[in-house]
């Protein structure tokens, strides 16, 4: 079935958001050299844009991948790390977890728990979008690009059935 896309966040607005978040990170990580950990696949575009606006020297960039049980637009109650990091990768480091969307909070909670086990010096969460309406697990988010209402979005790294990641703006998807 053909889906209809409606622009929710235009490219220029995303660029402004990214620059603002980069400034916030630069202020907070002054004299430090953080490790960025992106959650695959959705966060790869955001992370790639963000790092090119950061003045803070980044110590390392890593990626983890989680899998949630359930189908596409409906998140299930559980997420597991399916591709993690070699032990010691974030130990003693200032870690910033980069996510595309915090929705129910299940994925980021699992990712934060996973990273915490490796004893980082500090751990913060930076998300492109926050969708608080469907939150099931409380998550404290340190950096937010934009808070958005309920509704499924695609583009700028985020997908529906692996499609639309390449779109430079963020769209809502309707049947």
Instruction: Provide the binding-site residues for ligand 5GP, judged by CB under 6 A.
Output: 42, 68, 75, 79, 99-108, 131, 152-154, 158-160
- Which of ligand 5GP, Mg ion, none lies near 63, with the C-beta cut-off 5 to 8 A by kind? none
**In angstroms, rounded to a whole number, what is the distance separating the alpha carbons of residues 41 and 11?**
20
Burial 66-78 (b: 16+ CB within 10 A, else e): bebeeeeeebeee
Position among 42, 84, 120, 157 found at the interface with Mg ion (CB under 5 A): 42
Q: Describe the strand order of the beta sheet including 122-130 as a list of residue ranges.
A: 79-83, 60-68, 35-40, 94-102, 122-130, 143-147
Identify whether 100 is a catalytic site residue: no
**What six digits make up the tokens of 171?**
């769209």
* Shortest spacing between CB 143 and ligand 5GP, in angstroms: 16
Output 20 or 165, the one with its CB closest to Mg ion.
165
Q: Which of ligand 5GP, Mg ion, none interacts with 144 (beta carbon under 5 to 8 A by kind)?
A: none
Q: Residue 158: name its binding partner from Mg ion, ligand 5GP, none (Cβ under 5 to 8 Å by kind).
A: ligand 5GP
For the bound state, the minimum distance from the C-beta of residue 66 to ligand 5GP, rounded and expressed in Å, comes to 8
As a whole number of angstroms, the distance between CA 12 and CA 163 comes to 22
Q: Are the CB atoms for 50 and 26 separated by under 8 Å?
A: no
The nearer residue to Mg ion, 59 or 65, going by C-beta atoms, is: 65
Check: CB of residue 36 under 8 Å from CB of residue 62. yes
In the set 94, 100, 103, 130, the catalytic residue is 103
Q: CB-wise, 10 or 92, nearer to ligand 5GP?
A: 10
Catalytic residue IDs? 103
């Amino acid at each position: 079935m053909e889906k209809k896309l409606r622009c929710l966040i235009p490219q220029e607005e995303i660029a402004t958001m990214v620059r603002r978040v980069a400034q916030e990170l630069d202020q907070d990580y002054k004299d430090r050299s953080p490790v960025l950990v992106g959650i695959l696949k959705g966060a790869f575009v955001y992370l790639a844009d963000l790092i090119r606006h950061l003045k803070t020297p980044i110590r390392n960039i890593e990626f983890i991948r989680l899998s949630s049980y359930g189908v596409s637009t409906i998140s299930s109650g559980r997420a597991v790390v399916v591709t993690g990091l070699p032990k010691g990768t974030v130990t003693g480091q200032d870690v910033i977890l980069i996510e595309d969307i915090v929705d129910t909070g299940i994925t980021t909670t699992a990712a934060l728990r996973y990273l915490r086990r490796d004893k980082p010096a500090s751990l913060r969460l930076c998300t492109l979008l926050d969708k608080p309406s469907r939150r099931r697990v409380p998550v404290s988010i340190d950096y937010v690009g934009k808070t958005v209402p309920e509704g499924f979005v695609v583009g700028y790294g985020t997908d529906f059935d692996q499609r639309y990641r390449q779109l430079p703006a963020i769209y809502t998807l309707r049947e």
